[in-house]
Amino acid sequence: MNVLVLGSGGREHALTWALAKSSHIGELYVAPGNGGTAAIAKNVPLDILDAEAIIGFSRDNDIELVVVGPEAPLVEGVAEKVRHAGFAVFGPDAQGAQLEGSKSFSKEFMLAHDLPTARYKKCTSEQEAMAYLDEVGAPIVVKADGLAAGKGVIVADCLEDAQEAVRDCFAGDFGEAGSIVVIEEMLEGPECSMLAYLAGGKALCMPCAQDHKRAYDGDRGPNTGGMGVYSPVPCVTPELEARMQGIMQKAAAATAEDFEAAYTGVLYGGFMLTPEGPKLLEFNARFGDPETQVVMPRMKSDAVEVFKAVAENRMGDIDLQWSDKCAVCVVLASEGYPGSYEKGKVILGIEEAEALEGVTVFHAGTAFNADEELVTNGGRVLNVVALADTFEDARELAYEACDKINFEGKQLRRDIALRALKG
């Protein structure tokens, strides 16, 4: 089976890696891909927002399955256009993608279906938002309504910070994403995520993962797209996991009630484990990044079989099997991330890192220069993943691998998954 993956990050490398292991795979293409996907698939220079180009390429290359990685093409309706052209597509239509594309849409969906979440208010003007802040005070969470590349959520400990966040949103700091603002009650507790395959109003849940969003050790510094992640999550008891799965099943059934087309793909549930139980912080309409990088290595089932069955609404044909091993992923970032950073730094040592048993390195922001050297090409550069029987061993292995990889300005956290050791 010929398969096309859309995207260029660490998530897409992890998905491509999983698909490449399938006994059903024929030609495997990634658009546009990165330095890592080039080693296991054919990178193709397609614009992932151009549905007609994707359809044309798929026809010319006998593609039988298109896997959409990032959120932007989903929100733009690329999945449905490619699906309507006759191809099996793993990824929801634009209506389903609004669960991520609009935070107010998502919150309204949660409330309409009695899914536990924080109290909130949707504000369409700065004046309205400021008045609500005066009413509720801080701490509070301010969110740009639309897609803001992971940067549109501000946790404000004081009223002044919340007011500044509102001004930034309506001043255009997040583009069109900030033209509507959602102000939300701040929940307390550890965060974790649960991904689920969705089709036909049914969910098949994956193991939980917990990422580290802050830039520096000790959960200090600015929020990032994720500096590391691990799976499973020891603090998630079987009872908590069952409650989270119930919430995801309820959300899946709600998609079948509300949406014109079947939601076929992945739904990401971002949870806060509050004293009252798990509550939803957000939905994403695709695999998480970097959560995918620890969930895919633990999936023992054939990825092509699973993704094709989801795309064709055949959930009954899926038999999900998971490894009991612990997975730890450490992100190697460019100096300055999540602020400004330089590209083009030569990367060395990946082969030595992957020579360690249990280690896989997924590329997030890499490319080849004119001399065919692998170089940095983004803020988050590499995802170093280790699988082992215990978190202690997985952490040790991951950091041993990280120390074998070098590029100028390499930045990483040294405390990834430490909390997993505490249970």
> In CATH, what number is assigned to the domain containing residue 152?
3.30.1490.20
CATH number assigned to the domain comprising residue 260: 3.30.470.20
Whether 112 maps to a domain, the answer reads: no
One domain for residues 26 and 53: yes
Torsion angle of the four alpha carbons 169, 289, 20, 34, in this order, in degrees rounded to the nearest 10: 60
Both structure tokens of 204: 């098949």
Q: Note the pLDDT of residue 423.
A: 67
| Single-letter residue type at 48 | I
One domain for residues 226 and 297: yes
Whether 103 maps to a domain, the answer reads: no
Whether 118 maps to a domain, the answer reads: no
- Full domain range(s) for residue 175: 125-179
Both structure tokens of 398: 């991951």
Last residue of some domain: 317, 345, 363? 317
One domain for residues 196 and 300: yes
Considering its fold, how many domains does the chain have in total?
A: 4
Residue environment code for 198-222, b if the CB has 16+ CB neighbours within 10 A, otherwise e: bbbbbbbbbbbbbbbbbbeeeeeee
- Total Cβ atoms within 10 A of residue 300: 10
Could you give the maximum distance between any two Cα atoms of the chain, in Å?
Answer: 60
One domain for residues 195 and 243: yes
| Single-letter residue type at 228 | G
Local confidence pLDDT in tens for the 423 residues of the chain = 999 999 999 999 999 999 999 999 999 999 999 999 999 999 999 999 999 999 999 999 999 999 999 999 999 999 999 999 999 999 999 999 999 999 999 999 999 999 999 999 999 999 999 999 999 999 999 999 998 776 788 889 999 999 999 999 999 888 888 899 999 999 999 999 999 999 999 999 999 999 999 999 999 998 899 999 999 999 999 999 999 999 999 999 999 999 999 999 999 999 999 999 999 999 999 999 999 999 999 999 999 999 999 999 999 999 999 999 999 999 999 999 999 999 999 999 999 999 999 999 999 999 999 999 999 999 999 999 999 999 999 999 999 999 999 999 999 999 999 999 986
Sheet holding 120-123, edge to edge: 120-123, 181-185, 140-144, 153-156
Tokens 């170089």 correspond to 375
Contact (CB, 8 A) for 238 and 74: no
One domain for residues 311 and 268: yes
Residue 407: C-alpha distances to residues 37, 329, 361, 364 (Å): 19, 18, 15, 14
Q: Where are the alpha helices (DSSP H) in 40-154?
A: 51-60, 71-75, 78-84, 94-101, 103-112, 126-136
pLDDT in tens, 165-201: 999 999 988 888 889 999 999 999 999 999 999 999 9
Sign of CA pseudo-dihedral 159, 162, 166, 167 = positive
